[in-house]
Amino acid sequence: MSSPKANLADLDTCAQEPIRIPGKIQPHGVLIALSGEDASIVHVSFNVSRLGLDGESVLGQRFDEAVPTLARQLQPLLDEVRGRQEDGPSRAIMIELTGTGGRFEASAHRCGDLLIVELEDARAGVATAGEPDPDLRAFVRRLQSTASLDHLCALATDEIRRMTGFDRVMVYRFDENWNGTVLGESRNDVLPSYLDLRFPASDIPAQARELYRISPIRIIPDAAYEPVPILPVLTPGTDKPLDLSFAALRSVSPVHIEYMHNMGTRSSMSISILQGDRLWGLISCHSREARRVLPQIRNACDFLAQIFALQVGALEQAASATHRMHLSSVQTKLLGFMAEEDSFVSGLLEHPAEFLEVAEASGGAIVVGDSIRLIGEAPSVSEVRDLADWLRREHKADLVATDSLARDRGLPATETSPAAGLLAMSISQVHTDYVMWFRPEVVQTVKWGGDPTKAVSAQDGSIRLHPRKSFEIWRETVRGQSLPWSRNIIETVRELRNAVVGIVLKRAEELASLTVELQRSNKELEAFSYSVSHDLRAPFRHIVGYSEMLRNQEGSRLSERGRRYIDTVIEAAFSAGTLVDNLLSFSQMGRATLNKRAVDLNMIVEDVIRRMAPDIGDRQIDWRIGRLGSVRVDPVMFKLAVENLISNAVKYTRGRDVAVIEIGRTDDQSESVIFVRDNGAGFDMRYVNKLFGVFQRLHRAEEFEGTGIGLANVRRILERHSGRVWAEGALDQGATFHMALPNQEAARNG
C-alpha cells in the first residue's frame, strides 16, 4: 500500500507546480514586458542582447527610446492589443532589425496592466514548417462534408501534419473523468502509433488543462533547451512573478520535459479543441527531432482546429438530437399507455419493451410500497428491496445514475449480476417508491499508453512525481461496470419522472375529491337508512302485536284459511322487523365512534359460543379453537363480527352429522389474520364478490334463513379497523372466512 505522502504527491504535486509563472522562457525568442501607461520596459528576457540591448540597463526605460526601430514597427500591433476587450495573443507580424540582422515574427498580448511582446526568431537553423495551404477553403469544405468523427480526425491530422512537418499528429479526446483517448492519428514511421490508446488524467493535471482552455496553442521546438530567465524575477510594485499564461515562449514544466524524453520525442505542439468554453480535447503533435513551427503556421493550425471543433460539435449535436427524438417518442408512448390504465404501474408493466427502451436497459423493477414487480433481466426481489433501502438511506436526489453499482455501494463486483449499472427515479416523496432500470456488466479491456500509475520519489526532503518511463501498451481489464447512462437518457428519464409524479398527484387529487364526495354521500345514505329503519321499527312491531292479538282473541271466529293468513302476516312482519333491526345496526356501524382496547380473542369466542348454546341444542359440533392471542379493537364491534362468522358456520353446517368448525390465527410481517373454517354447504367462488354486499345471499331463504346483512356488517367493522375480510369456499365442501388486521392492531400473547 502506498504511503499517505505518496498519495498526496500523486494528487497535488502537479497542481502546485507554478506552470503559469515559471520565471523563464524558451530560447527561440525574446520577451519584453511594457507598462501599459507609458510603455516603459518592466521585464526583459536575459537574451535581449539578441536585439542589441543590455538587459539590466534597459529596465525602466521607455520602449520607444530604448529600441526606437522596434517600437515603431510594433506600434500598430500594440495599439491593436490596447484596444482589445479580451486577453490572448494577437496576430503575428514580421519585423526586421537592420542593425542586428535579426528577423523576427512578433506578437503581443495583455497581462493585467502590462503589455507582453514576444519576438520569435524567423531565421533558419532549426527545422521549420512550410507554408499554409493556399486554399484553406477547400480543406474546410472537405471537413464540412464529412459525416463521421473518424473521417474528421483523419482529415485534420493529415492536414496539420502536412503543414507542420511533425512525425506524428493525434486527436486526443477527454472523457468525463479527464482521461484521454487517441481517436485519430497521422504519422510516418519515425514514432510509434498511439491510436486507440488511453492516457490517465494525471498526464494533464487540472491547472494544465485550464491553460489549454484559455491559451489554445503550446509549442516546444526543442525539449533539450536551456531556459532563459526573465529580469527582474518579480514585477516592480507587485512583488509577484510575471504571469506567462498566454505567452507562446513560456518555459514548460520539468516534469513535462521528462515525459517527452520518456516518449522519445524532442519537439511538440498542442492545439486546443474547444466546444464553447469546454475543453473537448487536443490536437497533439510530436517529432523525434527538434522542429519549430512559426506563428503564422500555428495560427493557421489554430484556425483549422476551430473549424474541426465546430464540425465535431455539429456531428455530436445532430447525433444527440436524433437520439433524443427517439427517446422522446418512446417516452410519449409510455405516457400514453399510463394514461389509459388505472395506475401508472400497469401502464409500465403491460408494455415492457417500451419501458426498457426508454432507458436502453436490459431489466427493470417497480417498487411501490411493499410491492416489487420485475421486468426483463433484473435482480431478485430481495436484491431489489435491498437496493431500495440503500437508495432511501444514501440518496435524497430524485434521480440516481451509476455505471458501477458495486463500487458505489462498496461491494465486490459480481460477474453474474444483471445490475452492474443502475438508473433509479423516485416517484413519491412520502413513500419513497422507485422505478429502476438495470444494465449488465460489460467486461472492458482498456489499452493504456503505458502503466497509468506514476512513480513517486523523495528528493531533498520533498515528494516528486515522475512520469512513467514506458509507453508500451498496458492492458487493464475492468469488471463490475456497465455501459454509462448517456446525458440524453438521464434527461429523458427525468422528464418521465416529472410526468409520472404529475400523473400520481393528479390521481391522488381525483381520489381525494372522490373520497370527499363518497364520504358526503355515505353520510347522507347512513342518515337516510338510520331514519328509515328507525321509523319502520314501530309499524312492524304494531303489525306483529295487533296480528297476534287478532289471532288470540278472534281466532275462533276465523276460518282455517283466515288463521293461516294471520300467521303469514305475523311471520312476514317479524322477518321485516328483524331486517330493519339489522339495517339499523349496519348504519350505526359507520356512525359509531371506535373505542379501541386490547381484547382477548379466545374469551370473545368462548362467550359467543356460550350464548349460542340454546340455538345449537344437541347438535354435534367439533370445535377446534387455536391460541388466538389479543387484538386492539373496539370490543363491541369486533365481537359482533366474530359472532356473525361463527353463527354462519353453525348455520351452514346444519346438514352435517358432525359439524367441524375451526377458529385460528396466522401472522406475517404486515398483518394478523383470524379465520373461521367450516365443513358446511360452502358456496360457488364465481359469486364471491357478492358475498359481503348488503342484501346479497348465495343460498335460498328456504334453505338457510337470514337477511343478507350480517357479512356486510363484518366488512364494515373490518374497514373501520383499517383491516380487510375475504372468503374462500366450494359448493358442499365448506368455507373459510378471513379477517385481517394490520399489525399495529394485533399483539399476540404467550
Rounded CA-CA distance 404/478 in Å is 11
What's the confidence (pLDDT) of residue 462?
47
Q: Which three cell numbers stand for residue 525?
A: 345514505
Which contacts qualify for 543-552: CB closer than 8 Å, 24 or more apart?
543/569, 543/570, 543/573, 544/570, 544/573, 544/574, 544/577, 547/573
**Range among 92-101, 141-150, 333-342, 418-427 with highest mean pLDDT value:** 418-427
What's the confidence (pLDDT) of residue 464?
47
What's the confidence (pLDDT) of residue 284?
95
Given a cut of 50, whether residue 456 has pLDDT beyond it is: no
**Mean pLDDT of all residues in the chain?**
80
Q: Whose CA is closest to 269, among 129, 100, 65, 113?
A: 129
556-593: pLDDT as tens digits: 777 888 777 787 777 766 656 655 555 555 555 555 56
Of the listed ranges 414-423, 621-630, 631-640, the least confidently predicted one is 414-423
Q: Which residues pair with 218 in a beta bridge?
A: 270
Q: Whose CA is closest to 666, among 726, 715, 626?
A: 626
Rounded CA-CA distance 50/32 in Å is 12
What would the mean pLDDT of 310-320 be, rounded to a whole number? 87
Instruction: Please list, in sequence order, all residues whose beta carbon lies within 8 angstroms of the beta carbon of residue 498, skipping any fewer than 6 positions away.
Output: none
384-413: pLDDT as tens digits: 888 888 888 888 788 899 988 888 888 776
Rounded CA-CA distance 534/161 in Å is 103
Q: Please indicate whether residue 3 or residue 415 has the higher confidence score (pLDDT).
A: 415
CA angle at 675 for the pair 672 and 677, rounded to the nearest 5°: 160
What would the mean pLDDT of 716-743 be, rounded to a whole number? 87
Domains in the chain (CATH in brackets) are 9-19+128-227+250-318 (3.30.450.40), 29-121 (3.30.450.20), 341-441 (3.30.450.270), 507-586 (1.10.287), 592-747 (3.30.565.10)
Q: Whose CA is closest to 424, among 442, 398, 390?
A: 398
